[in-house]
Amino acid sequence: MSWTISPAVADILKQGAAGEGLNRDQALTLMALPLHGRESYALMQTADALSRERFGGKGENHFHIGLNVAPCPLNCRFCALTVEAGIFTESVTFDDGQLLEWARNAEAQGADALNLMTTGNFPLARFLEIGRLLKSAVRTPLVANTRDITHKEGEALLAAGFVGFYHAVRLGEGRDTPLKPEKRIATIQVIKDVGLCWMNCVEPVGPEHSPAEIVELMLLARRYEATYSGVMRRINFPGSPMSGHGMISELEMARLVAVSRLVMGDIPVAHCTHEPNGAALMAGANLLFPEVGASPRDGQADTGKGRGQAIDRCRTLHREMGWDPDRPSNCFRQAVAGGQMKMESQV
Ligand code: SF4
């Protein structure tokens, strides 16, 4: 094993450390570094240092609530909530009492956002109703995580109290899903146009994805200026059609988290990883997703009783890795400031 860092890699890391972002070739050079070599660890340390400085040591927890379990007819191949997976044969929507309990508990435990996820066929009218309900009950910012939307629907989400929208062009979009990448990108533009914060993740990464396709999505996140855009690995649920490909390790994911962090440069205000893990928290990630309700990675209807990690576990992970979950979130400052200005002008 080489003990030195090549001048070419050192130059790329220097540019990354300055928050200038990386181009395709530079990112691909980093993607090819041997996983256990000194250069990979230098990459992760560079991304870690950049995040700690830019994010002021803040550890973010965005609390995922999967609102409904349903056999989704869109049949994305990596998802447990599909007709084809055959795990869930009936639709279940968690009731208002349960949603309020989850939201209030998350707020009491210091969640920085509520990430409300639905299957692709969930009615938007009901989603807006839930947004209004939770907005009236908690102060925690609301992030929508649902199907593609139009401008009119984006404005309705804002009016219902949402400030952010999680939306990704997934790896294998159009190949492992029935949705066209262009449609997903059009929705990202809608999100930006209406003034919602666009949250993103390069996901769900598996061993079969080429460095080129992974880097393409990192560059997309930079181009559209995501609020955050880290990396999530694919979890193969029992019986998943993707099982034959295997899964990447947490260490491999941490290396990708570091590459994506340097690609993003000074654009983001946080950097995510999923599922919660310690390695990525020393490679540029500071944002974790505790989870309850439905999950595309779980055979349990309520992932809080399955794979999903609790918020206190995520807060402990943050502290163990030197991130402070009690500091104020960096993600919604603009949105909150905008809201306050609006309120003040109404007085
Ligand atoms: S990822 Fe979303 S749209 Fe695709 S099958 Fe799962 S719930 Fe449906």
Question: Could you count the other beta carbons within 10 Å of the beta carbon of residue 106?
Answer: 24
Question: 77: Cβ below 6 Å to ligand 1?
Answer: no
Percent of the chain with pLDDT over 70: 95
Q: Report the separation in Å between the CA atom of 342 and the middle of ligand 1, taken as the mean of its atom positions.
A: 36
Give the single-character DSSP code of 20: -
Q: Report the separation in Å between the CA atom of 296 and the middle of ligand 1, taken as the mean of its atom positions.
A: 7
Q: Which domains does the chain have, with CATH numbers?
A: 43-342 (3.20.20.70)
Question: 76: Cβ below 6 Å to ligand 1?
Answer: yes
Q: Is 335 helix (H, G, I), strand (E, B) or coil?
A: helix
Q: Report the separation in Å between the CA atom of 4 and the middle of ligand 1, taken as the mean of its atom positions.
A: 45
Going by pLDDT thresholds of 50, 70 and 90, the confidence category of residue 312 is very high
- Is the pLDDT assigned to residue 322 strictly greater than 90? yes
Task: Confirm if 42 and 77 have CB atoms less than 8 A apart.
Answer: no
Q: Report the separation in Å between the CA atom of 67 and the middle of ligand 1, taken as the mean of its atom positions.
A: 13
Ligand 1, residues 68, 74, 170, 237: which to mutate, most atoms within 8 A of Cβ? 74
Is the peptide bond preceding residue 275 cis, with omega within 30 degrees of 0? yes
- Mean pLDDT for 28-33 is 98
> Tens digits of per-residue pLDDT, 86-110?
999 999 899 999 999 999 999 999 9
What pLDDT is stored for residue 333 in this prediction?
Answer: 78
Going by pLDDT thresholds of 50, 70 and 90, the confidence category of residue 343 is very low
- Is the pLDDT assigned to residue 85 strictly greater than 70? yes
- Mean pLDDT for 230-250 is 96
Q: Report the separation in Å between the CA atom of 77 and the middle of ligand 1, taken as the mean of its atom positions.
A: 9
Going by pLDDT thresholds of 50, 70 and 90, the confidence category of residue 345 is very low
> Tens digits of per-residue pLDDT, 140-170?
999 999 999 999 999 999 999 999 999 999 9
> Tens digits of per-residue pLDDT, 172-185?
999 999 999 999 99
Ligand 1, residues 67, 69, 77, 81: which to mutate, most atoms within 8 A of Cβ? 81
What's the chain's average pLDDT?
A: 94
- Is the pLDDT assigned to residue 208 strictly greater than 50? yes
pTM summary value: 0.95
- Is the pLDDT assigned to residue 335 strictly greater than 70? no
Q: Estimate to the nearest angstrom the gap between the alpha carbon of 309 and the chain centroid.
A: 15
What pLDDT is stored for residue 346 in this prediction?
Answer: 36
For residues 179 and 181, what is the distance between their CA atoms, to the nearest angstrom?
A: 7
